[in-house]
Amino acid sequence: MAKLNIVLHEPEIPANTGNIGRTCVATGTRLHLIEPLGFRLNEKAIKRAGMDYWKDLDVTTYLDYNDFLEKNPGAKIYYATTKAPQRYTDVRFEEDCYIMFGKESAGIPEEILLENQATAIRIPMIGDIRSLNLSNSVAIVLYEALRQHQFDHMQSEGHLTKYQWK
């Protein structure tokens, strides 16, 4: 079973982190938060966005990027950024890999990207748009990684409540 990891490097907006937390719960994905955070984890906004799913979230926080690396030695990390040379669809996401996203105002620091060019990935966009919303970006890349693993631990079929599909 593919167990994936989403990493948020210094997230700033509680609603984005709450939405991402909800997506992680829905997909069985672990969430890793690298401090400093632009909010407190007990804020109402994060709980509202994560709804009642937040209590079920597998979440770990780290003091900084180095603390994250020390506590996850040998982790295969993909760095999602608008500055990457390759698309997120060009890589094969391994089981237990980590997909990192940067803070909303600045992304992942360029010195980290420079050290990890081979695993830096981007979502294609047109024109001069700065970036997509963070929670949307996480969903796009995470679901591609899950698709590559045939959604192996997920419910693939929906059911009507009052009727049956023909």
Q: Tell me, yes or no, whether 66 lies in a domain.
A: yes
For 159-163, what is the mean pLDDT?
A: 90
Question: Residue 27 pLDDT more than 60?
Answer: yes
Asked whether residue 160 is assigned to any structural domain, the reply reads no
Per residue in 56-98, pLDDT (tens digit) is 999 999 999 999 999 999 999 999 999 999 999 999 999 999 9
CATH number for position 128? 3.40.1280.10
Is 102 one of the annotated binding-site residues?
Answer: yes
**Any domain includes 162:** no
Range of the domain at 60: 5-148
Whether residue 154 is contained in a domain is answered as no
- Summarize the confidence of residues 30-54 as an average pLDDT: 77
Condensed to tens digits (0 to 9), the pLDDT of residues 127-142 reads 778 889 999 999 999 9
> Per the domain annotation, does 166 fall within a domain?
no
8 Å CB contact between 60 and 42 = no
In this structure, is residue 157 part of a structural domain?
Answer: no
Is residue 95 a part of any domain in this protein?
yes
Question: Residue 9: helix, strand or coil by DSSP?
Answer: strand
75 within domain boundaries: yes
Give the residue among 105, 19, 5, 110 at the shortest CA–CA distance from 62.
5
Count: domains in the chain: 1
